[in-house]
Amino acid sequence: MQNQLNNGVVINTNDLVKKYPMGRNELVALKGINLTFRRGEFAGLVGPSGSGKTTLLNIIGSLDTPTSGSATVLGQRIETLSHRMAADLRNRHIGFIFQTFNLLPVYTAFENVEFPLLLLGMSGAERRKAVMAALEWVGLADRAKSRPAQLSGGEGQRVAIARAMVKKPEIVLADEPTANLDAENSHNILHTMEKLNLDFGTTFVFSTHDQKVIEHLRRKIVLVDGQVAADERLQPEPDRGQP
Amino acid sequence: MTVLRLAWRNLMGAGIRTWLNVTVLSMSFVVIIWAQGFLQGMNRQVQDAMIAAEYAGGQYWQKDYDPYDPFTLSDAHAELPPALAELVRAGDATPVLVTQGSIYSGGSMRPVLLKGADPAQHIVALPSEFLAGDSTELPALVGSRMASSAGLKQGDIATIQWRDVHGTFDAREARVAQVMNTSVQSIDVGQVWLPLDRLQMMTDMPGQATVVTLKRGVRPPPAPPGWAFHTTDDLMSDLRALVKAKSTSSSIFYLILLFLAMLAIFDTQILSLFRRRKEMGTLMALGMTRGRVIELFTLEGALHGVLAAAVGAVYGIPFLAFMARHGIQMPKMLDTMGFAIGERLYSTYTPGLLLGTTILVLIVTTIVSFLPTRRIAKLKPTDALRGRWT
């Protein structure tokens, strides 16, 4: 496991299978997925609805567990983690971006971004500095006091990106991040995420069937019926001077 | 601390919904404290009135005297033993002779207790001075309830009948010297007060008494043979039991009130859980454990109680203080409840009542807030993010 981390591997799945009970039958959402993601990748899981993209993302994000096989994230076997350990992994190392932004409605943009840092027990001064920096990254420092209802769709998603990035996680998992956005906002969002990926070396894994997103990916993994149908390198990974 | 901060933010963020619940809950706080204070005030007023008008510093009873058994009255009298006579002479006690009789007024005969009191006594708050005088007329003192039931008023003449110590019936007329207004029914209903020496003479029981009431603050000497001493506490025990019974029945009122307030909290929590499933999923995705999500939602509910206590204090303290200072006018019909209720009733609030009620409401609010959140323990983050229950 340590070897994988030393090799820059942050996510590794091995014969990953996920089945859901459906009455007397069961639905096999993932059928033996073997994938490896290295630090700093900007990769996308592409495929039609029901192909298993979100299921895979949920397992990598320790929100769900595999039925069989294994998923290793930052050296931790997801299937062996307790609820508390999984929550801790998500809290410290993984950022989530959702299709519907999932901002907490009664909090301001600042408070939404601050939330993960509160869970980390960071001091007030540190939090303020980190939150304002994150809002600067996404160009929303001037909207810090706005509530989600007062933000446009693009702004809302940028706040969600700031929330995912504020703790500088190793991995960001984005589930259809542009599905609710128009072309211009989608472009801005993707540009922001690319920049953060390059600046911080954060691994971004998307689930998407949006062509606009696919154009920005450096690696495209096509899922069909719960299986990897193709795994293509679209652009070379930038050289960060690390193995 | 983090969860508390988040709960506070959520609560404030919920705006009008929070304040509606808080207002309802604060009303429960204030009304429960007021109702309890009202009962405490009633209890204290009744006890004070009974001590002042009847029991003073305690009573010596002739050994056969049982106030609940009128058949004992024919034997319940004796000459004052030297120790009690000395107390009476020193002005530290006053004797009362109690005997059965009947009164004829308004065309009907009704049984009464004839009680002889010393017109010069100042031990109890009985206007016995109206019994003074050496006229040939027999002065009688009755309470307003007795006067009302017998159709008597001041100056009226009624025929009194009694049996003397030998069992001989006798009768004579008495003039109502005064109708006293008293809140203490036990010196009023079914009783006619007469001058002690005249009653002793009428019953051929010279120097005898049934009860000797001790002045307040006087250390009671040991009861002489044939007599038993009853402390004020002993004498009040029946009243306390009655007050307790009434407190229990009236507590149903504030239990209903508390139930309604808790229903509002419970309802809010249930709605909150259904409406905020996706939010729960987000919280878990951001790194909160289910336990902390439960803690957060429970704390949000419990904070309603804390806010309600604060809001209740803002308008409740002036209201409760007003009730304690000015009291409320009691309707006459309450007089029939069995309590010695004054014309105005003043609420009494003890620190125990205020603290106890606050703690009770906070605990119940917390429990009610927690109950619906137990569902979260089984909630999968992936289901929550889709807005479903597991």
Residue A6 is predicted with a pLDDT of: 60
CB-based contact B10 A88, cutoff 8 Å: no
> What Rg do the C-alpha atoms of chain B give, in angstroms?
31
Whole-angstrom Cα distance, residue B176 to residue A133?
94
CA distance B367 to chain A (A): 24
CB-based contact A119 B286, cutoff 8 Å: yes
Of B10, B288, B385, the CB nearest to A87: B288
The pLDDT profile of chain A, 243 residues, written as one tens digit per residue, is 555 566 789 999 999 999 998 888 899 999 999 999 999 999 999 999 899 999 999 999 999 999 999 999 999 999 999 999 999 999 999 999 998 899 998 899 999 999 999 999 999 999 999 999 999 988 999 999 999 999 999 999 999 999 999 999 999 999 999 888 888 888 888 998 899 899 999 999 999 988 888 999 999 999 999 999 999 998 888 876 544
In the 8-state DSSP scheme, what is residue B71?
Answer: G
Mutate to test the interface with B, among A85, A107, A115, A171 (most CBs of B within 10 A): A115
Residue A240 is predicted with a pLDDT of: 65
Task: Tell me the whole-structure pTM to 2 decimals.
Answer: 0.73
Whole-angstrom Cα distance, residue A208 to residue A45?
6
In the 8-state DSSP scheme, what is residue B327?
Answer: -
Beta strands B138-143 and B169-180: pairing type?
parallel
The answer to whether B5 faces chain A, any CB pair under 8 Å, is yes
Tokens of A89: 């992994």
- In this prediction, residues B193-202 reach a mean pLDDT of 95
Confidence label for B333 from pLDDT (cuts 50, 70 and 90): low
CB-based contact A106 B10, cutoff 8 Å: yes
DSSP per-residue string spanning B243-306: HHHHHHHHHHHHHHHHHHHHHHHHHHHHHHHHHTHHHHHHHHHTT--HHHHHHHHHHHHHHHHH
Cβ-based neighbour number of residue B105 at 10 Å: 20
CB-based contact B13 A91, cutoff 8 Å: no
Q: What is the pLDDT of residues B364-382, one digit of tens each?
A: 989 999 998 888 888 888 9
Residues of chain A contacting residue B291, judged by C-beta atoms under 8 Å apart: 84
CB-based contact B278 A102, cutoff 8 Å: yes
Confidence label for B388 from pLDDT (cuts 50, 70 and 90): confident
Q: What is the pLDDT of residues B64-112, one digit of tens each?
A: 999 888 888 889 999 999 999 999 999 999 999 999 999 998 788 999 9
Beta strands A227-233 and A219-224: pairing type?
antiparallel
Residues of chain A contacting residue B284, judged by C-beta atoms under 8 Å apart: 63, 87, 90
Residue A243 is predicted with a pLDDT of: 44
- Burial environment of residue B102 by CB neighbours within 10 A (0 to 12, 13 to 18, 19 or more): middle
CB-based contact B381 A64, cutoff 8 Å: yes
Residue A5 is predicted with a pLDDT of: 60
Whole-angstrom Cα distance, residue B299 to residue B302?
5
Is A10:A74 a contact under the CB 8 Å cutoff? yes
Would the pLDDT of B342 be above 70?
Answer: no
Residues of chain B contacting residue A90, judged by C-beta atoms under 8 Å apart: 284-287
Residue B247 is predicted with a pLDDT of: 73
Q: Which residue of A has its CA nearest to B2?
A: A118
DSSP per-residue string spanning B73-136: TTT--EEPPHHHHHHHHTTSEEEEEEEEEEEEETTEEEEEEEEEE-TT--SSS--GGGG----S
Residue B291 CA, chain-centre distance (Å), reads: 46
Residue B40 is predicted with a pLDDT of: 84
User: Coil, strand or helix: which one is B61?
Assistant: strand
For the four alpha carbons of B372, B376, B379 and B384, in that order, the dihedral sign comes to positive
Share of chain B above pLDDT 90, in %: 51
Whole-angstrom Cα distance, residue B195 to residue B178?
13
* Axis-axis angle for helices A109-120, A153-165 (nearest 10): 20
Is pLDDT larger for residue A199 or for residue B333? A199
Kind and range of the H or E run holding A26: strand A25-38
Q: Which domains does chain A have, with CATH numbers?
A: 2-233 (3.40.50.300)
Closest CA to A57 of A177, A184, A195: A177
Residues of chain B contacting residue A87, judged by C-beta atoms under 8 Å apart: 284, 287-289
Is A76:A85 a contact under the CB 8 Å cutoff? yes
CA distance A120 to chain B (A): 9
Is B349:B37 a contact under the CB 8 Å cutoff? yes
Which residue has tokens 């159709």?
A: B151
Confidence label for B41 from pLDDT (cuts 50, 70 and 90): confident
Would the pLDDT of B335 be above 60?
Answer: no
CA distance B274 to chain A (A): 15
Q: What is the mean pLDDT of chain B?
A: 88
Share of chain B above pLDDT 70, in %: 96
